[in-house]
Structure 1
């Protein structure tokens, strides 16, 4: 039982990180109705900014306190992501209002390659590290309840708590604020939202800024765990099954989908891996997502689209 709970907790913590990346996809889709292939590039760009600022700020300003340096680096990277969001809306999205979804999709592909190249130009292409002070040593819990206790990685636990706090904050933002309701109205119908006075351009700037902050937090956590390198863009690919499972239009769906994928990957690798030769954790999520596409294409919490002719 202790080993099962240890695997289950590990899956839940990994699932929260998947949910965090998936939220970026959901945010952009809710605002523009397009699947944002630039999300992985945004995570990489934000992580690069955070890593480089954490090096440049202490050296340039003579700051010796690592906490203050990290806070300033986070603020600086956040400002960079706000600027990126404003530029994207100003130069790209503003000219594509009410265009076909395919046009917006191709625009996000162009943004992806542009941000990858710009990130390499501005911040370099080496492998960088982000040290935000999360402890990396494992800890034993419930030793009095289970023989040998349950081993938990502190870094994974802290990362999951940060991701959960941000997810909860965003859920409240979408459900309880006027801006969140306006964003949902824009997602339903661009022209109808404009007709009742909702400024589409401002909403798009806001949602890209929020998605940029989400990408920054995700890049900070994944960069702390894996290092900041250009393969970090593939993290977004791990979130694709989460979005398919939970639904493209649902913030709670991104949470539940991430937890299901995280737990499913860990349990299947441990209990089914020995029978299929291992490696099941790599493809399990995609097979599960394929099954959902065949049975329930809109996902667990997505809205079913009905076209009337």
Structure 2
């Protein structure tokens, strides 16, 4: 039982990180109606900026506190992501208002390749460490209940709590604020939103800035675990099944989808993997997403599209 709970808790914590990355996809889709293939590149670019600034600032400004360097690096990286959001709205999305969805989709692919190339040009292509003080030692829980206790990685636990807090805050932002309601209106119809006075350019800058902040948090967490490297953008690919499972328009769906996939891949790898030769954790999420596309293509919490003719 203790081993099962260890696997379950590990899956829940990993799933929370998947949900955090998936949240970036949901934010952009809710505001523009397009699937943002640049989210992985944004995670990479934000993590690169934070990692390099934290290494450069002590040399530039002559202070020795790494904590201060990290805090300034996070602020600077967020400023960079806001600048990226402004540039995307000014030079890409602003030129494509009311265009076909496939046009916007191809635009996000172009943004993804541009950000990856720009990141390599400015920050280099080595593997950079990120140390924001997350404890990496494991801890044993419920030792009085289970013999030997349940082994939990502290870094994963803190990362999952941070991700959960951010997801909860963004959920409230969408549901309770005027800006959140404006984002939903823009997603439904660009022209109608503009006709009632919603400034489309400002809304897009806001949502891409929020998505940039989400990408920064996800990049810091995954960079702390894996190091900042260009394969980090591939982590976002695991979020694709999450949004398919939960629904492209649903913030709660991103949470539930992330938890289901995190738990499912861990349990299947441990209990089914030995019978199939292992490797289930790599493809489990995509097979589950494929099944959902056949059974419920809008996802668990997605809005069912009905066309009336």
TM-score (norm 2): 0.99
Superposed, 1:59-74 pairs within 5 Å as 59-74=59-74
User: Could you give the per-residue CA deviations for residues 128-180 of structure 1, whole angstroms, max 9, x where no partner exists?
Assistant: 01000111111111100111100000000011011011101100100011000
The residue aligned with 1:248 is 248
Q: Distance in 2 between matches of 1:138 and 1:126?
A: 28
User: Could you give the per-residue CA deviations for residues 22-80 of structure 1, whole angstroms, max 9, x where no partner exists?
Assistant: 00100000010000000010000000000000001112112222222111110000000
Q: Distance in 1 between matches of 2:294 and 2:186?
A: 29
User: Given the alignment of the two structures, is residue 48 of structure 1 paired with residue 33 of structure 2, yes or no?
Assistant: no
Q: Which runs of 5+ in 1 are unaligned?
A: none
User: Given the alignment of the two structures, is residue 57 of structure 1 paired with residue 90 of structure 2, yes or no?
Assistant: no
Q: Distance in 1 between matches of 2:8 and 2:58?
A: 40
The residue aligned with 2:32 is 32
User: SS state of the match for residue 151, structure 1?
Assistant: strand
Q: Which runs of 5+ in 2 are unaligned?
A: none
Q: Distance in 1 between matches of 2:35 and 2:190?
A: 16
User: Could you give the per-residue CA deviations for residues 98-142 of structure 1, whole angstroms, max 9, x where no partner exists?
Assistant: 000010001001101110110011111111010001111111111
Q: Distance in 2 between matches of 1:174 and 1:256?
A: 17
The residue aligned with 2:185 is 185
Q: Distance in 1 between matches of 2:140 and 2:164?
A: 22
The residue aligned with 1:159 is 159
The residue aligned with 1:221 is 221
User: SS state of the match for residue 299, structure 2?
Assistant: coil
Q: Distance in 1 between matches of 2:218 and 2:59?
A: 25
Q: Comparing 63-72 with 253-262, which one deviates more in the overlay?
A: 63-72
TM-score (norm 1): 0.99
Q: How many residues align?
A: 309
User: SS state of the match for residue 139, structure 2?
Assistant: strand
The residue aligned with 2:126 is 126
Q: Distance in 2 between matches of 1:151 and 1:44?
A: 30
- Taking only aligned residues, the RMSD between alpha carbons, in angstroms, comes to 0.6
